[in-house]
Structure 1
Amino acid sequence: MSKMSELDLCVSELRNAAQSLNAVADSLTALFSGSQPEASVQPKSKPTPKPLTLEEVRAVLAEKSRNGHTAKIRELLEKYGAAKLSEIDPQKYAALLAEAEVLGNG
C-alpha cells in the first residue's frame, strides 16, 4: 500500500470517528437538556447469531463424550431422530447444543 493511500485511509477513519463523536455529543446534549434529539436515534438491532456448524456442535459433543457422557449424547441424538450427528437437521443444532452443554453440570 502506498503512503498516499495509507494517508487517505487514515484521514477517512479520522472523519468517521469525528462524525461518531459528534453524534454521541448531540445525543448526550439532548439527553441532559431534556429535549428530544434532532434525529431520532434508532436502537441498533441485535445482530442475528450466525448459524452453528456441524463442526462446532461436534466439538462440544466430543468433549462431553470424553468426559463420560457418551450414553447421554447418544440419547440426545436419538431424541432428535438420528443415530449420528450428521443426520440431524442443522436448524436443530442450537437446541441440541443447549441440551448437551448442561450435561455434567448438575
Structure 2
Amino acid sequence: MTKETLASLAAELETCGQTLLKLAEALRAKEETLAPEPQKNEPGSTKLTLEEVRKVAADKSRQGFTDEVRGLIQKYGADKLSSMDPEKYEAFLQDLEVMGHAG
C-alpha cells in the first residue's frame, strides 16, 4: 500500500469512529427523552420526584419547546418547576408527553 492510500484509509477510519460516537450519543439522548410511564399514585406506589419531572421538562426544552414548557409550568400554578405542587407532577408529565405531537 502506498503512503497516500494508508493516509486515506486512516482518515476514513477516523470519520467512521466519529460517526459511531455521534450515533452512540444520539441513542443515549433518545433513551433519556423517553418519559417514564405515568404512575398511578395509589397507596403504596412511588410518587414522581422533582428530578424525574425536571429531566423530562429539560428534554422537551432541548427539543425546542422552551416557551411551551414555561407556559405549562405556569398553567400548573408555579413560576418555576421547583415551586410546583408535587401532586401536579403526573398531570404535568402527561401534558409534556403530548407536546410536539400533531393531533
Q: TM-score range by the shorter chain?
A: 0.5 to 0.7
Match of residue 56, structure 2, among 41, 54, 60: 60
The Cα RMSD (Å) is 1.7
Q: Deviation per CA, 1:33-74: give whole Å up to 9, x if none.
A: xxxxxxxxxxxxx98541000000000000000000001101
**Count of paired positions:** 61
Q: TM-score, normalised by structure 1?
A: 0.54
Q: Which amino acid in the other structure matches residue 87 of structure 2?
A: Q
Question: Which ranges in structure 2 are unaligned for 5 or more consecutive residues?
Answer: 1-41
Describe how 1:1-106 pairs up with structure 2 within 5 A. Answer: 49-106=45-102
Point out the structure with max Rg over C-alpha.
1
Equivalent position SS for 1:67: helix
Give how far 1:83 is off.
1.1
Structure 1 spans left out of the alignment, 5+ residues: 1-45
Superposition deviation, residue 103 in structure 1: 0.7
Aligned partner of residue 50 in structure 1, secondary structure: coil
Q: Alpha-carbon deviation of 1:79? A: 0.4
Could you tell me which amino acid in structure 1 is paired with residue 69 of structure 2?
Answer: I
